[in-house]
Amino acid sequence: MSKIIRGYWDCSSCDTKGIRGDVRNCPGCGKPRGDDVKFYIKDKEYLSDEEAAKVSHEADWFCEYCGALNAASETKCKGCGAEKAASDKDYHDLRREEQAKADAAAAKKAARDNAALEAQRAQAKKKRLIGFGIAAVAIIAILMAIFMPKTSDATVTQVAWERSIAIEQYQNVEESDWELPEGANLHEKKNEVHHYDQVLDHYETEYVEKTREVIDHYETVYEYEDLGNGNFEEVSHEEPVYVTETYTEEVETPVYRDKPVYQTKYYYDIDKWVEVRTSDSSGKDHNPKWNEPTLASDEREGTRTGVYTITVEMKKGKASVYELEESAWNGVEVGDSLEIKQHHDGAAEIKLPGGETIQATRIGE
């Protein structure tokens, strides 16, 4: 069996359809086939080997004087007798021109559609940006409200102080530590866990399912080439057909464990000063005093601490307590009008009536 298939064509002048490819003039109206002819296959009709052997592989040429298509073997137009010129278009040139025109029209339409779509997108984007802008302004306003320092006027309603003296006693205590202090009386040493190190213990094998494309078999694919003269040639090639294959991959994952690190710990008794009580004093005036505690023979005074506060009332009637340095606190009187710049973390700068600014910390309401 040959690979040549008979083509057919339709007459555009009289609408006669299905005219055989080897017929050059329309049986309906007698006009020769012209530049708008496009061959097609009907029922895949193979020519006999004998017929196929006579089929040319060259396309018909187009006579631009009378518009007829002529066989490649003709040197003069069958319609008007004009000489075949080297510049004459053939069937394929005509098809290419037609395709180019169709492509250009499609491209023009795509460009128009694209432009319309772009305009639509730009509009939507503009709306979104305005939306973002409004949201961003709102968020910034909220953040500013939270984090920006707030300045408010306040009046001092109370000043207060608290002082404390730690009282220590010389005692014998039992302790343990990683080092033995001087003067300690060692009882025993133990090997104990000081900390943990992360060490590689082993690897764990994990099985991961994966997929890949592999060739399963080949398939013959047929294509039909328009010879441009009323016939088609069948060409075939083999194409691979893929299947998805599942396979298992081994992955080694390290597993760590905590390894204890041991060190010597000392257990001992030692004589040392230990805080046993405090001696406290307080007042709501500007005369802070330290107590004069009575000490036993094995006691002594330890650290002294003092807290100096002011209570203020804001314009809205809200009260707040601030802790100040003693020297700054000394300069604040009940009834003073203050300007307080409050930060969100509790820190504050307080402007005194004299214009001086002091640092303070809000410790309560």
Q: In the 8-state DSSP scheme, what is residue 28?
A: T
- Of 47, 30, 49, 37, residue with least CA distance to 12: 37
The answer to the question of residue 66 lying near Zn ion (CB under 5 A) is yes
65 or 170, CB closer to Zn ion? 65
Strand partners, 52: none
By CB under 5 A, the count of residues binding Zn ion is 15
84 or 286, CB closer to Zn ion? 84
77 or 159, CB closer to Zn ion? 77
Question: Closest distance between Zn ion and the C-beta of residue 26, in Å?
Answer: 3
Q: Which stretch binds Zn ion (CB under 5 A): 25-33, 203-211, 286-294, 310-318?
A: 25-33
Using left for φ > 0, alpha for ψ between -120 and 50, and beta otherwise, residue 29 falls in: alpha
CA 85 – CA 101 distance, rounded (Å): 25
The answer to the question of residue 28 lying near Zn ion (CB under 5 A) is yes
Q: Using CB under 5 A, which residues numbered 124 to 153 contact Zn ion?
A: none
Pairing between β-strand 69-70 and β-strand 40-46 as defined by DSSP bridges: unpaired
The answer to the question of residue 80 lying near Zn ion (CB under 5 A) is yes
CA 146 – CA 140 distance, rounded (Å): 10
82 or 276, CB closer to Zn ion? 82
What number of residues does the chain have? 365
Question: Closest distance between Zn ion and the C-beta of residue 112, in Å?
Answer: 37
Question: Closest distance between Zn ion and the C-beta of residue 236, in Å?
Answer: 35
At residue 359, what is the residue type? Q
Query: What is the number of other CB atoms lying within 10 angstroms of the CB of residue 214?
Result: 11
The answer to the question of residue 11 lying near Zn ion (CB under 5 A) is yes
20 or 265, CB closer to Zn ion? 20
Residue 315 Cα distances to 50, 95, 227, angstroms: 114, 90, 99
Query: What is the number of other CB atoms lying within 10 angstroms of the CB of residue 95?
Result: 18
Which DSSP string corresponds to 187-207? EEEEEEEEEEEEEEEEEEEEE
The answer to the question of residue 332 lying near Zn ion (CB under 5 A) is no
The answer to the question of residue 63 lying near Zn ion (CB under 5 A) is yes
13 or 361, CB closer to Zn ion? 13
The answer to the question of residue 13 lying near Zn ion (CB under 5 A) is yes
The answer to the question of residue 34 lying near Zn ion (CB under 5 A) is no
Those residues with Cβ within 8 angstroms of residue 292's Cβ, 6 or more apart along the chain or in another chain: none
68 or 338, CB closer to Zn ion? 68
Q: Among 17, 18, 23, 29, which residue interacts with Zn ion (rule: CB under 5 A)?
A: 29
**Is 169 in contact with 273 (CB distance < 8 Å)?**
yes
Q: In the 8-state DSSP scheme, what is residue 132?
A: H
The answer to the question of residue 69 lying near Zn ion (CB under 5 A) is no
32 or 302, CB closer to Zn ion? 32
Torsion angle of alpha carbons 125, 131, 133, 138, nearest 10°?
A: -160
The answer to the question of residue 18 lying near Zn ion (CB under 5 A) is no
Question: Closest distance between Zn ion and the C-beta of residue 68, in Å?
Answer: 5
At residue 267, what is the residue type? Y
The answer to the question of residue 27 lying near Zn ion (CB under 5 A) is no
Question: Closest distance between Zn ion and the C-beta of residue 2, in Å?
Answer: 29
Question: Closest distance between Zn ion and the C-beta of residue 33, in Å?
Answer: 9
The H-assigned helical ranges of the chain are: 49-54, 91-147, 326-330
The answer to the question of residue 14 lying near Zn ion (CB under 5 A) is yes
Q: Among 19, 59, 69, 77, which residue interacts with Zn ion (rule: CB under 5 A)?
A: 77
Q: Which stretch binds Zn ion (CB under 5 A): 55-63, 251-259, 269-277, 300-308?
A: 55-63
**Is 322 in contact with 332 (CB distance < 8 Å)?**
no
The answer to the question of residue 23 lying near Zn ion (CB under 5 A) is no
Which DSSP string corresponds to 110-130? HHHHHHHHHHHHHHHHHHHHH
Binding site for Zn ion (CB under 5 A): 11, 13-14, 16, 26, 28-29, 63, 65-66, 68, 77, 79-80, 82
